[in-house]
Structure 1
Amino acid sequence: MVGLCFVFVSAFGLVSGFPPEHWREVSLEEPEVKIVAKIAVQEYNRLSDQDVIYLQLRVTDVRKQLVKYDFNIIMGRTMCKKDGKESLNNCQLHVEAPEKGVKCNFLVLLVPWQNETKVLHYLCSQEDFIKDIVDTSSFLNKDKLTSKTEDGMRETISLFKEFVTTYNKIYPNDEALRRLHIFSENLKKAKEIQDKDLGTAEYGVTKFSDLTEEEFRTLYLNPLLSSSQKRWIMKKAVAPKDFPPTQWDWRDHGAVTEVKNQGMCGSCWAFSVIGNIEGQWFLKKGTLVSLSEQELVDCDAVDHACGGGLPSSAYEAIEKLGGVETEHDYSYQGQKQDCSFSASKISAYINKSVEISKDEEKIAAWLAQNGPISIALNAFAMQFYRKGVSHPLRILCSPWFIDHAVLLVGYGDRNGMPFWAIKNSWGKDWGEQGYYYLYRGSGACGVNQMCSSAVVN
């Protein structure tokens, strides 16, 4: 029996052209690769201490020795719980880290004639699993490039690799090269915005630098705002009679919660309104509570969840529901789900809502006296904004093309340049710790066009 096995192995070596112990590279298209990869992911999910399911994003570096396969798999964390009833086909990558992954090396035994597949061992790491994201030679056509252009391309590739590492980007299959080209074009766009900006802002690489303009608008902005400006009808707020202070910031007075992250969902309208209500509740009741945006995403029957919405409709929805639950009781998921609002868990309510003047001095006075304001603006310069006071040309950032709702929390002056302090909902790893600073006094990017607030009695 031993001799027979020896003859089989030796024969395999002679037929294949490789010595029995030789590892050879295997094409990713081979059916066996898909089989062992599927088994490997299943085994990882079964044995790992993670409470959620991970899905395969990419298989790399496959090699084979007789019936053993050695390969790497990069997997992404989903929003499906291990003990949940969701189908794997419906699992979506996690909203706050949609591209954060884990890299595992697997050794799998596959013996088709015995119908046996077994994971022999695996080792996983979440650290630096992409070192060479692109093949430089495939991006650089040296026959058509000057040395100066080639140096520029190499610098772009270096910036892209740094971007990939910083933001834990994982791209399936050959997507990395396409994203590199988009990244390269976005560097040019950021420079054009930088050259034309009238303020002190710095534009450049952000976590959105691998997205096309269309992708960015679809995933993060709110198309309903611009089309709704003409029918923006609300009861007018009473303008304060006193002149506003020279500067004011509600963060210094305890009325603003931590920066949140809407994820890849056009729910900015919910974050803007909830931020306003958090401030109003604090000013009237003395307690700062982080309230639920997901309640609006799920239960507002007028607005369109991740497809966009209007602050005016959101206020009405909260009045009809009777109030808002806390973020803890009704946590954010970044996608529309069945409404699970419970009246017994209401932690804040509103009595009505009002529209605030378009005059920026009156906006400042109302803000200083009454709290943070829900506003909407043109997000033209925000995809590549890093820091400083942004002041795009009016022709580039039209006040009539509003597509993003945010929260106005304060105003002031930086070295002679007046600004609005704006809380965004794209996480703390964007802008200045999640904040955007926009020029004050010229209606920049339509910042004064859709100002509103809830009223708590």
Structure 2
Amino acid sequence: MMWAAALSLCSMLSGAWISATQAQAALAPDLSMTQMAQMFQDFMRQFNKTYQSQEETKHRFKVFIHNLEVSHALQASELGTAQYGVTRFSDLTEDEFAETYGMSRRSTAPPVKRADWHFLGEVPPSRSQSCDWRKAGAITEVKDQGKCRSCWAFAAVSNIEALWNIHQHVHRNLSVQEIIDCSYNKTGCQGGHTWDGFLSVFKSGGLSSRTLYPYVGKNQPCQKYRKRSVTRIDGYQILPRDERYIASIVASQGPVTAQLNMKILQSYQNGIIQRPAKDCNPNYLDHVGLIVGFNEGKSRRGSRTGPYWVIQNSWGEHWGEKGYFRLHRGTNACGIAMYAATATVKDSATKKPMSCPAI
């Protein structure tokens, strides 16, 4: 029997594994067991959560309370403006979250020869104080990877789509599933690197449309479609670990993919994330997003936010800031500068590439 979100948790959890005193000790002192049970019931309703049994419901309630405690600790130690609290992932343990939505391996150096790369050459430091490609209409909609660990493929495809908008003035809706199925290392829903996807697209001659090759969110054999219309790239580049250079590429060329440590994103709601390095190890990279803009964070009316990146995620529009999050820029926060990468697309022969609007 499925337990609906409307189930009265207050009564069901009465006398369960945890006492109100224990719960209050773990979280803010003004939250009672009744209040936390109501929060959990609201969470289930908001995110359409159902569980297989009373035991599973009680277990998820226990996890939920622990994650409230984690959010409370993150909020107390936040150095930026980020807000932490209840999200769609609040009933998952840290291990479950990592195993379901993160990549299965740490990042390594790109396993390709230099000859396979297309370098952008010398790029002068950006003079732009801010940049937001969303305002130019260059960014396709936020997507949801589901329980396939395919953030790397979504970021690669969104990067290519944006570059075609910017440099060719052509809108593209491309296939994430084709990259998952056809990349040379065959990791698919177990995780991968964006350069795996770029290399696959470059060597295969292009990428199919999303309509021809739709997303199913699981590994399947690579499909070979005859006479398909493809979207090509001219190469790709792994960027230097220099956030000023990365900002220059974003401002002058377009969005770039970046790997990062996703641990704190489980509880992220909004704002600019700035964590002590111990809370977000820059050497453990298990997620990929698309950097679509940045800001210097100049003072406004006496307040200052500090410099930050604007990053598109692949967890749907009902997470974070309508599918995006902001991350402190300039200190390699959460490893954001370690493995930034981008495809390259030539400019149109008849039109100048788009310019990036200010935030």
TM class, shorter-chain normalised? 0.7 to 0.9
Alignment of 1:7-22 (within 5 A): none
**CA 357–219 in structure 1, closer or farther in 2 if over 3 Å, else same:** same
- Post-superposition Cα deviations, 1:115-150, rounded to whole Å, max 9, x if no partner, equal xxxxxxxxxxxxx76232461313376696699879
Please name the residue that 1:10 is paired with: none
Please name the residue that 1:92 is paired with: none
| 1:183 aligned residue (48, 59, 64) | 64
Query: Contact 1:256 / 1:288 at 8 angstroms: preserved in 2?
Result: no
Alignment of 1:5-404 (within 5 A): 58=1, 130-133=6-9, 135-139=12-16, 151-173=31-53, 174-224=55-105, 226-229=106-109, 235=117, 236-404=119-287
- Return the TM-score normalized by structure 2: 0.86
- Structure 1, unmatched stretches of 5+, are 1-57, 60-73, 75-127
- Return the TM-score normalized by structure 1: 0.68
Amino acid aligned to 1:132? S
Say which SS state the counterpart of residue 217 (structure 1) adopts. helix
Please name the residue that 2:353 is paired with: none
Say which SS state the counterpart of residue 200 (structure 1) adopts. coil
**CA 313–140 in structure 1, closer or farther in 2 if over 3 Å, else same:** closer
| 2:322 aligned residue (411, 433, 439) | 433
Please name the residue that 1:447 is paired with: 336
Say which SS state the counterpart of residue 184 (structure 2) adopts. coil
Q: What is the alpha-carbon distance in structure 2 between the residues aligned to residue 181 and residue 328 of structure 1?
A: 42
Please name the residue that 1:11 is paired with: none
- Alpha-carbon RMSD: 2.3
Q: What is the alpha-carbon distance in structure 1 between the residues aligned to residue 123 and residue 24 of structure 2?
A: 62
Q: What is the alpha-carbon distance in structure 1 between the residues aligned to residue 335 and residue 286 of structure 2?
A: 10
Higher relative contact order (CA 8 A, sep 6+): 2
**CA 337–145 in structure 1, closer or farther in 2 if over 3 Å, else same:** closer
Q: What is the alpha-carbon distance in structure 2 between the residues aligned to residue 370 and residue 141 of structure 1?
A: 54
Q: What is the alpha-carbon distance in structure 2 between the residues aligned to residue 427 and residue 143 of structure 1?
A: 35
Query: Contact 2:261 / 2:282 at 8 angstroms: preserved in 1?
Result: yes
**CA 352–136 in structure 1, closer or farther in 2 if over 3 Å, else same:** same
Query: Contact 1:408 / 1:421 at 8 angstroms: preserved in 2?
Result: yes
TM superposition shift of 1:172: 0.4
Amino acid aligned to 2:345? V
- Post-superposition Cα deviations, 1:156-193, rounded to whole Å, max 9, x if no partner, equal 11110000000000100231110000011011111111
Query: Contact 1:350 / 1:456 at 8 angstroms: preserved in 2?
Result: yes
- Post-superposition Cα deviations, 1:315-358, rounded to whole Å, max 9, x if no partner, equal 11112222111122211111112222425223311121111122
Aligned length: 332
- Structure 2, unmatched stretches of 5+, are 298-302, 347-359
**CA 144–422 in structure 1, closer or farther in 2 if over 3 Å, else same:** closer
Q: Comparing both structures, which one devotes a greater share of its residues to strand?
A: 1
Say which SS state the counterpart of residue 354 (structure 1) adopts. strand
Report sequence identity in percent: 33
Rg: which structure is higher?
1
Q: What is the alpha-carbon distance in structure 2 between the residues aligned to residue 191 and residue 129 of structure 1?
A: 24
Query: Contact 2:131 / 2:293 at 8 angstroms: preserved in 1?
Result: yes
**CA 214–232 in structure 1, closer or farther in 2 if over 3 Å, else same:** farther
Amino acid aligned to 1:418? P
Query: Contact 2:156 / 2:194 at 8 angstroms: preserved in 1?
Result: yes
